[in-house]
Amino acid sequence: MIGAIRQTLEAGDQVLIFLNRRGYAPVLLCEACGWQADCPRCDAHLTVHYNGQSQRNSYSSNSYLKCHHCDWQAYIPTVCPDCGSQNLDAKGMGTTRLSENLHAIFANPQTSKELYPIIQIDRDTTRRKDSWENIYEQINKGNPAILVGTQMVAKGHHFPNVTLVCLPNADRGFLSADFRSPEHTAQLMIQVAGRAGRGDKAGRVLIQTLQPDNELLLKLVKDGYLSFARELLQERQMMGLPPHRHAALIRCEGKTLAATTQALKDAIAHLPNAHNLAVLGPIDAPMSKKNSRYHAQLLLLAKDRRQLHHVLGQWWQPVLALPSAKYLKLTLDIDPVGW
């Protein structure tokens, strides 16, 4: 990938590198005891925001820990809060770290004859007014450059001089627990790949993967999206998942997980006796604690859409009136996008 990037730059073209993760690194880990910096309000790691110009172990506008779900911020500790070790390490790679590493290879006089600009495009670099316009203008001058972007760059932008698109670390989406994740990942990959070769020159796309023989990925690359989608649809049919069955997702949010789970249990008890209706849950939502609130969920699946909606019509108002649902937030999501 590095060789292809250099080749493209030397030919006078631009490179787009897609990494859907902003910040410096997604995890801060203690190498001595395994402690990780987690958000106190969410079931999530804090992202390390840091860049080479700032002191790593002190608080500045460039150096901090941040939750990408609730915006909670903290200092980067100098020692592990659990064991006192100084052996804290940022693990994984976000757009800032990737840009820094590329800088060391392609914009450093010791390693590169020509110095190429590395342009980072994500929510952190485009927050200020006019910053996106300035970036866009710089790109559209057409000089050789490396663009590093999150999904902000996937859609709608026309970069005529980009002839190489790189997708490092493309596996995450194919390994996720959400059954719709491969579908969404493939769509994003197709969109990003579509940024290559939009001008007069042909484009090339490089995908970095730990599973080069992943069947779905091969299908997508060799046979295209339609063929990939047909394969997924077959899988969905075998597993009885949408669009072959129709879904309704009931989410319950409250101050404790016990209360939200209990309300959903009571809701099940009020469900009319319906054949061909699968009830899954209640279970903890994928990120059950978010912004200090707890989430549980219940999934209903039915072959017959009309029957499902008939049941929901009878059931939903009594559920909202349940004594155990008082003070909780209950929502009903028909044809949910994920669960």
Which residues form the interface with Zn ion (CB under 5 A)?
30, 32-33, 35, 39, 41-42, 67, 69-70, 72, 80, 82-83, 85
Amino acid at 233: L
CA 205, CA 167: separation in Å to the nearest integer?
8
Give least dist CB 288 to Zn ion, A. Answer: 13
Determine the Cα angle at 208 with ends 205 and 213, to 5°.
Answer: 105
Cα dihedral 178/184/189/192 (nearest 10):
-130
Name the residue nearer to Zn ion (CB basis): 55 or 291: 291
With beta carbons less than 8 A apart as the criterion, state whether 242 and 236 touch: yes
Q: What residues have CB less than 8 Å from 206, skipping those under 6 apart?
A: 1, 4, 164, 165, 166, 167
Give least dist CB 84 to Zn ion, A. Answer: 7
Give least dist CB 177 to Zn ion, A. Answer: 20
Name the residue nearer to Zn ion (CB basis): 78 or 85: 85
Give least dist CB 33 to Zn ion, A. Answer: 3
Give least dist CB 59 to Zn ion, A. Answer: 18
In angstroms, what is the C-alpha Rg of the chain?
24
Name the residue nearer to Zn ion (CB basis): 9 or 42: 42
Name the residue nearer to Zn ion (CB basis): 77 or 92: 77
The DSSP letter of residue 30 is E
Cα atoms in the 13 Å half-sphere on the side-chain side of 162: 27
Name the residue nearer to Zn ion (CB basis): 89 or 114: 89
Q: What residues form DSSP beta bridges with 147?
A: 16, 119
